[in-house]
Amino acid sequence: MLTPQQLDHQYNARAAIPDHPEIFARWRAESRAARDALRCEQDYYFGPSPAETLDLYPAAVANAPLLVFIHGGYWRSLDKQDFSFLAPAFVSAGVAVAMPNYGLAPATSIEEMVRQMLRALAWLYRHVPQLGIDRRRIVVAGHSAGAHLAAMMLAADWPLMAGDLPRDLLCGAVCISGLYDLQPLVRAPFLQQDLRLDEVTAQRVSPVGYRPGLPIPLITAVGGEESAEFQRQNRLIREAWPHCFRRDLPLPGRHHLASVEALGDPVHALFHATRRLLG
């Protein structure tokens, strides 16, 4: 078992990337440029709290598939508009992109974040026909904490949430550098104050504790320069959900933040694999 100090070393991804402030600044600049260049329909409300909004980047074609991207930030930082830079490649390929926000820790628990993302996906399923999107082709993607939330969406029993939602609400998921067993984070000092996880709640919000009812395709990816624990987490979800797992995309030479950049790179295999999931 890893010590608390070892857990911090393994899971505190930003601490391992000294230039992360510069990376975040570049993302913000590229995202502003993307919103200026694309049609961006901002802040659709999908739930009761002020945080529950999403931005939509429509495609230029009718009846387009939809990629729903959930941002990371260890459930306690960042914003949907920090990741607008991922949208242009998909919009150019005829794919609409939705980016939801969720409440952040410590004000919002991870359990409530999961409920918020369930509301976001339900809202999108109900409204995308009016927005020119094909509700039969919705793929959820996420990075880091967002990959955790995306995996929870793949595990969701949608008809249990509401009778008008189908079991196959999603046609695929792409999980990048995700966290799927939250038990180790209970003992990670750098997260304890904000997340306030205990063994019971960590188990309840760990995707590996669930099994999707349908073999909906799952693609995973993790950076080649990420820690051994992030590599292990990436293996865990594939082993827990063999009926869903389709492909793991290697990301050689990429650290935790560079891993998500591959998704929006129109020449990268991760972009093309995601595009194929969308049909």
Q: For residue 59, which of 101, 30, 88 has the smallest C-alpha distance?
A: 88
Dump pLDDT digits (tens) for 162-199. 999 999 999 999 999 999 999 999 999 999 999 999 99
pTM of this structure: 0.98
pLDDT value at residue 268: 98
Domains of the chain: 4-277 (3.40.50.1820)
| Amino acid found at 8 | D
Q: What is the mean pLDDT of the chain?
A: 97
pLDDT value at residue 276: 98
Produce one character per residue of 108-138: b if its CB has 16 or more CB atoms within 10 Å, e if not. Answer: bbbeebbbbbbbbbbbbbeebeebebbbebb
Instruction: Tell me what the mean pLDDT of segment 58-64 comes to.
Output: 95
Cα–Cα distance for residue pair 56/66, rounded to 1 Å: 10
pLDDT value at residue 90: 98
Q: Structure tokens of 174?
A: 């792409």
Instruction: Tell me what the mean pLDDT of segment 201-216 comes to.
Output: 98
Dump pLDDT digits (tens) for 126-167. 999 999 999 999 999 999 999 999 999 999 999 999 999 999
Dump pLDDT digits (tens) for 80-94. 999 999 999 999 999
pLDDT value at residue 166: 98
Cβ atoms of residues 194 and 105 within 8 Å: yes
φ and ψ at residue 155, rounded to 5 degrees: -85, -5
pLDDT value at residue 118: 98
